[in-house]
Amino acid sequence: MLRPGVLQRYWDWLDLPEHTVRLSLSEGSTPLIPMPRLAKDLGGGFDLYVKYEGLNPTGSFKDRGLVAAVGEAVGRGARTVICASTGNTAASSAAYAARAGVRAVVLVPEGKIALGKLAGALAYGATVVQIQGSFDHALALVREATQRYPIALVNSINPYRLQGQKTAAFEIVDALGRAPDWLAIPVGNAGNITAYWMGFKQYHAAKGSGLPQLLGVQAQGAAPLVLGHPVEHPETVATAIRIGRPARGEEALAAARESGGRIIAVPDDAILAMQRALAREGVWVEPASAAGLAGLAAEIETGRLDPRGKTIVAVVTGHGLKDPDIILRQAVDLPSIPPRLDALHPYLLAD
Ligand code: F0G
């Protein structure tokens, strides 16, 4: 059976121009996976789900936004799209540009993009340019380039990106029958948390489905929204959210405030520990994707968030396969043996 993409499923709920080309790679419709063991480890007494966005066609939530932004750009005649990216937007914009038969140019911070993302962008045929600087430098250059050249910008400052991305909030409400009590979500350039809030508010206005409190989570070394000022040299193992000057920072702060929630920061070791905890329950995500849950765990442990009786959804934004290095670097000393049973014996009964 053909599976519709988000533009087909939710067209009437999206504020997109009629000229938008309705592309699809069957993005969206990602599962809400219950995490009972993790909830128990965090004290129990509540329902915890992850929205597994790594199951989108290019392995991250970006596909929801890029299908809309690229479709709109192509519909008004653009022949080239451009973005700055920590990697996932690069791969996604490249895939939808390929689908639409136009060019994608992607600017990435040199040496700071995970292998699976770079390979993806190249596989889909993008022109990949490494920038000697951070994501923030790349985005500034993209803004400048799109003012001077007839090229469509598809970063999340493009409003159509958010139209596509808010469909994830619709899916959560459609699956649960109402909005969760809390939504925990990683924050980088701050487009996604802004889009979710738009989606929840729109559904609530139409259906009375309720509103979640938002817990946005940044990495401690890249936490401008927690510090209250830009970070010149952002640094974190979660390269996807290594951003010091979020384009939609003000909107994200306003959304968190309006929801009765907040934006917090967690250290890298907590992010990596949560990545491992998720994988031990069968859900492998890239480091940035574990930040939302790491933040939730910290808030529960310190008593700032009482989860009892609540329904909590954590958005896990990208697949673990995007960033295999981070796991392989920790897998020290794999055994190597001759192909004989006696050599294999000690490994068979180990716990
Ligand atoms: N998680 C992942 C896996 C991401 O790739 C990103 C952003 C985020 C979370 C944060 O979302 O920026 O909307 O607050 N990645 C962008 C990129 C910056 O270029 O792929 P945000």
- What's the longest Cα–Cα distance across the chain? 69
Per-residue model confidence (pLDDT) at position 135 = 97
Best residue among 118, 189, 237, 245 to mutate for probing ligand 1's pocket (most ligand atoms within 8 Å of CB) is 189
Instruction: Kindly give the parts of the chain with pLDDT less than 70.
Output: 1, 350-351
Q: Are 163 and 68 in contact (CB under 8 A)?
A: yes
Distance from Cα 172 to the centre of ligand 1, integer Å: 19
- Within 6 A (CB) of ligand 1 lie 60, 62, 85-89, 156, 186-192, 240-241, 286, 288-289, 317-318
In this predicted model, what pLDDT tens digit does every residue of 256-267 receive, in sequence order? Answer: 999 999 999 999
The tally of CA atoms less than 13 A away on the side-chain side of residue 95 is 27
The H-or-E segment that residue 52 falls in is strand 47-52
**Distance in Å, CA 156 to ligand 1 centroid:** 10
Amino acid in the structure at residue 292: G
CA angle 323, 261, 276 (to 5 degrees): 25
Looking at residue 29, its amino acid is S
pLDDT in the model for residue 2: 85
How high is the pLDDT of residue 181?
Answer: 98
Q: What is the pLDDT of residue 23?
A: 98
Shortest-distance atom of ligand 1 to CA 322: 3
Residue written as tokens 């009590």? 181
Relative to the CA of 84, which ligand 1 atom is closest?
19
List domains and CATH numbers for the chain. 6-59+161-328 (3.40.50.1100), 62-158 (3.40.50.1100)
Task: For ligand 1, atom 15, name the residue with the nearest CA.
Answer: 240
pLDDT in tens, 176-210: 999 999 999 999 999 999 999 999 999 999 999 99
Residue from 50, 237, 241, 319 whose mutation best tests the ligand 1 pocket (most atoms within 8 A of CB):
241
> Which atom of ligand 1 is nearest the CA belonging to 186?
9
Q: Which long-range contacts (CB under 8 A, 24 or more apart) does 29-34 make?
A: 29/3, 29/171, 30/55, 30/56, 30/168, 30/171, 31/55, 32/171, 32/172, 32/175, 32/176, 32/313, 33/283
Rounded Cα distance between 270 and 252, Å, is 23
Nearest CA residue ID for atom 6, ligand 1: 240
Q: How far apart are CA 11 and CA 7, in angstroms?
A: 5
CA of 347 to the centre of ligand 1 (A): 40
Distance 291 CA to ligand 1 centre (A): 11
Please report, rounded to a whole number, the percentage of residues in the chain having pLDDT higher than 90: 96
Taking the CA of residue 192 as reference, the ligand 1 atom at the shortest distance is 13
- Tell if the pTM clears 0.95, that is, is over it: yes
- In testing the pocket of ligand 1, which one of 214, 317, 319 has its CB within 8 Å of the most ligand atoms? 317
Query: How many A from CA of 62 to the centre of ligand 1?
Result: 8
What's the 342 CA to ligand 1 centre distance in angstroms? 48
